[in-house]
Amino acid sequence: MQSIIYNFHYQGGHTSMHSVQSTKKVRLVTVIAALLFATACSTQSGNSTEETPKATPQSTVTDAEGEGISEPAEAELEPVNLKWYFLSYGTPTDMDTIEAEFNKYTQELINATVDLVPVEAGDYEDKMNTVIASGEEFDIAWTSNWSFGYVGNVNKGAFYPIEDLLPEYAPNVTKLFGDKLEDARINGSIYAIPIYQTMTQIQGFVVQKRFADKYNLDVSSIKTYTDLEPFLQQIKENEPDIIPFGAAKDHSPIWSAYDISWTGVTFRNSDPKTIIHTDFAPEYEKHLQTMHKWFKAGWINKDAATAPDLKSVLAKGNVAVTQDFNLKAGGEAGHKAENGGHDVIYIPTQVPTFTGVTATMNAISHTSKHPERAVALLDLMASNADMFNLLKYGIEGKHYTLNAEGKVVPIADSGYPMGVQGWVMGNETIGYLMEGQPDDTWEVTIERNENAQRSPLYGFTFNGENVKTEIAAMQSVSGEFGAGLQTGTLDPAVYLPKLQDALKKAGVDAYLAEQQRQLDEWFAKK
């Protein structure tokens, strides 16, 4: 059977965007035939209640390279409904409007409607854990190596293996990622489709430019948290309405400032073969002391331990400095939007490091009755610029406008504040640029993805199945103390020993031993 072929072009390894808001030029060529075949097979095997659809005579069309290929002239493909959960920063009150427009594409291309279900970032993991535990039928869920963990959910059977579906229903994804898809392989199979965005990590600080200019901040001198202290004190003394450093309950350290890396396991860059636990590391104790000092000095917002997420703290534009775990190419425009429209500058604390594809993905649920259709939808999100821009930015003229350069200018209070999070949706490089992003943003992104240095632990994936009881107990303990300690609200001299003692009782030693065992075996095979 032929693969799915869409009418789009690759340039320099990524999908080019042409006539983006024009009529639907991206055409489904053989997906209907593939889906019909899958539906027929599942019906014959007794795994579906759908009737076997009837395929009709073939017609010939021309693909992007001008070659003749066959497509069904008319195909009776049973309509289905898909449900997609994804993480959201901000509440999109105009979601129903976006969903209605989005479904015009999906009904035409794969004969499916899609329930789009955004969940606030601060609530996402708890919400999805409840959904999984309930056995709810849904089709797609955003997952990662840092929230709603990909590996853990694979190990407990929450996700559906899709490797056999990718050549047929996701040829664009397969071509886009190439052998990088191997990074998503767990226990011998692939369960999620990555988002094509920056696959490198550059941690660092984000500073409002107006304050950096006003106080002559020497950005080249900033390597660690303590290097920021004179600047933060200047803000405190001279800017009474400004928060010197913004944090929220999901705050955690920029580990590169302490020569520590995290790639699913934690290690010092100087000794990548030895697993450590940050809550017992001297560097972490030092960091907590710094944060508590800052909190007592009034440099950190008082509600940091309870603020749902950092974006809610930044929204008023009154935060001088914050941090980010990924200073992406062209990302300043997104941070400007998050910071009340104020320009920002980046202060990186590490060189670009390739960290793999598992930082942001969409997985297929094991409860999905239509995994082929779900995979085909995600392939569209990797190749169809119209659909991607709609889900990322909304409707032109209602949620954003395009400036003279063809770049997005968000409309304030439009009801769809999603423009900075294409990294949960599909393929960033086929989307519009935002006003202020350099013209070469996507080219730089692709170049970094291909050429950044790789983590010494790239390719290693920890399987927590043997210590899942300990992991659950440790997560409960961390939830009790983590936000208060990491935002500086709690005194580490008092509460860090309590956290460490609770982790010991929860089984942290067994957890670390299992991580070390697996890492030793991995290095031995290299």
Q: What is the DSSP string of 3-31?
A: PP-BS--EETTEE---STTSS----BSSH
The pLDDT of residue 12 is above 90: no
Residue 183 — φ and ψ, nearest 5°?
A: -65, -20
Tell me the backbone φ, ψ of residue 72, rounded to 5 degrees.
Answer: -65, 130
Question: Average pLDDT of 165-180?
Answer: 96
Task: Answer yes or no: are the C-beta atoms of 504 and 512 closer than 8 Å.
Answer: no
Residue 270 is predicted with a pLDDT of 93
Domain boundary pick from 449, 476, 506: 449
Query: Does residue 187 lie within any of the structural domains?
Result: yes
Mind giving me the DSSP string for 325-391? Answer: S---TTTHHHHHHHTTT--EEEEESS--EE--STTSEEEEBTT-S-HHHHHHHHHHHHH-HHHHHHH
Q: What is the pLDDT of residue 111?
A: 97
**CB-neighbour burial class of residue 247 (10 A; exposed 0-12, middle 13-18, buried 19+):** buried
Highest mean pLDDT among 10-19, 147-156, 251-260: 147-156
Judge if 94 and 121 occupy the same domain: yes
Over residues 384-404, the pLDDT tens digits come to 999 999 999 999 999 999 999
Residue 407: inside a domain = yes
Position 326 in a domain: yes
More confident call, 412 vs 13: 412
- Of the three residues 449, 482, 501, the one that is the final residue of a domain is 449
In angstroms, the CA 92 to CA 95 distance is 5
Average model confidence (pLDDT) for the chain?
86
pLDDT digits (tens, 9 = 90+) for 181-195: 999 999 889 999 999
H helix or E strand, kind and range, residue 113: strand 112-120
Indicate whether 297 and 221 sit together in one domain.
Answer: yes
Tell me the CA distances in angstroms from 163 to 3, 174, 362, 466, one per residue in order. 14, 10, 14, 25
Q: Of 449, 482, 497, which closes a domain?
A: 449
Instruction: Tell me if 111 is assigned to some domain.
Output: yes
Closest CA to 482 of 203, 145, 252: 252
pLDDT value, residue 478: 86
One domain for residues 93 and 120: yes
CA distances from 317 to 119, 210, 310, 338 (A): 24, 11, 12, 8
Rounded Cα distance, 139 and 151, in Å: 18
Tokens for 113, please give them. Answer: 């409607």
Query: In this structure, are 170 and 218 located in the same domain?
Result: no
Tell me, yes or no, whether 224 and 175 share the same domain.
Answer: no
- Domain shared by 522 and 435, yes or no: no
Q: How many whole angstroms separate alpha carbon 270 and alpha carbon 477? A: 29
In a domain? residue 8: no
pLDDT over threshold 80, residue 24? no
Are the C-beta atoms of residues 383 and 15 closer than 8 Å to each other? Answer: yes
H/E segment holding residue 295: helix 282-296
SS3 sequence of 191-222: CEEECECCCEECCEEEEEHHHHHHCCCCHHHC
Identify the pLDDT of residue 35.
Answer: 57
- Considering the domain architecture, whether residues 431 and 329 belong to the same structural domain is answered as no
Report strand pairing: 319-324 vs 243-245: parallel
- Is 323 domain-assigned? yes
38 or 431, which is more confident? 431
Mean pLDDT value of segment 124-136 = 97
Number of H helices, E strands in the chain: 17, 23
**Residue ranges of E strands in 431-471:** 453-454
Q: Are 285 and 492 in contact (CB under 8 A)?
A: yes
Residue 37 included in any domain: no
CA angle 508, 514, 516 (to 5 degrees): 100
C-beta of residue 350 within 8 angstroms of C-beta of residue 204: yes
| Residues 143, 86 contacting (CB under 8 angstroms) | no
pLDDT band at 259 (very low <50, low <70, confident <90, very high): confident
- The verdict on 294 and 316 lying in the same domain is yes
Classify 185 as helix, strand or coil.
strand
- Beta carbons of 421 and 392 less than 8 angstroms apart: yes
Query: Looking at the structure, do residues 326 and 363 belong to the same domain, yes or no?
Result: no
Residue type, 135: G
d(CA 9, CA 159): 31
502 and 398 within one domain: no
- The reply to whether 245 and 388 lie within a common domain is no
Q: How many CA atoms lie within 13 A of 8 on its CB side?
A: 31
**Residue 521 pLDDT > 70, yes or no?**
yes
Number of domains the chain is built from:
2
Within a domain: 431: yes
- Domain extent, residue 234, equals 203-350+462-526
**Do residues 152 and 238 share a domain?**
no
Say whether 78 sits in a helix, a strand or coil.
Answer: coil
Question: 10 Å Cβ neighbour count for 117?
Answer: 17
CATH number of the CATH domain containing 289: 3.40.190.10
Percent pLDDT > 90 in the chain is 68
